[in-house]
Amino acid sequence: MSETAAERLARRYPARRPAWRDWRLLAAALAVVGGAWLVWVATAGADPAVSARVDAFEVVSPTDVTATVSIQRPDPSVAVECLVYAQAVSYERVGELPLRVAPGDQVHTTLTVALRTFKTATTVQIESCRPIG
């Protein structure tokens, strides 16, 4: 039995599997995992326990700032703690105030707070708000 060179080569080196099949499987798996993660992040962060914002602020003096803060909590029977801070024009923090809101009967609470600063503030912001207790 005599075989040609082409038959010998075909027997020695089998046909390669296309590489795109491996990449499609990996891409599909990553898409499923990424989609599941996106849905989880969207549903977990869609309804925060507490939300807060600074409605207005006024620089009273180089060492004093007043701010109007609005806090919304779905369950008003839970106490809340927020960290309010003032920033200078150089973006450094020049004053902080941990703000505690006692349990009450209002879902939406508006407070006016005064912050002492060691430098003239240009903005007031809220870093975090969380339920306590």
According to the model, what pLDDT value does residue 19 have?
67
According to the model, what pLDDT value does residue 111 have?
93
Q: What is the pLDDT of residues 43-61, one digit of tens each?
A: 877 777 889 999 999 999 9
> Whole-angstrom Cα distance, residue 115 to residue 95?
6
Find, among 88, 87, 115, the residue nearest to 99 by Cα. 115
Superfamily of domain 51-132: Interleukin-17 receptor A/B, fibronectin-III-like domain 2 (2.60.40.2150)
State phi, psi for 25 to the nearest 5 degrees. -65, -45
- For 66-100, b where at least 16 C-beta lie within 10 A, e where not — what string? ebebebbbeebeeebebebbbbbeeeeebbebebe
> Whole-angstrom Cα distance, residue 65 to residue 72?
22
Q: Please count the CA atoms within 13 angstroms of the CA of 14 that sit on its side-chain side.
A: 2
All residue ranges of the chain with pLDDT < 50 are none
According to the model, what pLDDT value does residue 10 have?
80
According to the model, what pLDDT value does residue 110 have?
93
According to the model, what pLDDT value does residue 1 have?
55
Report CA torsion sign: 13, 14, 15, 19: negative
pTM flag (> 0.85): no
According to the model, what pLDDT value does residue 8 have?
83
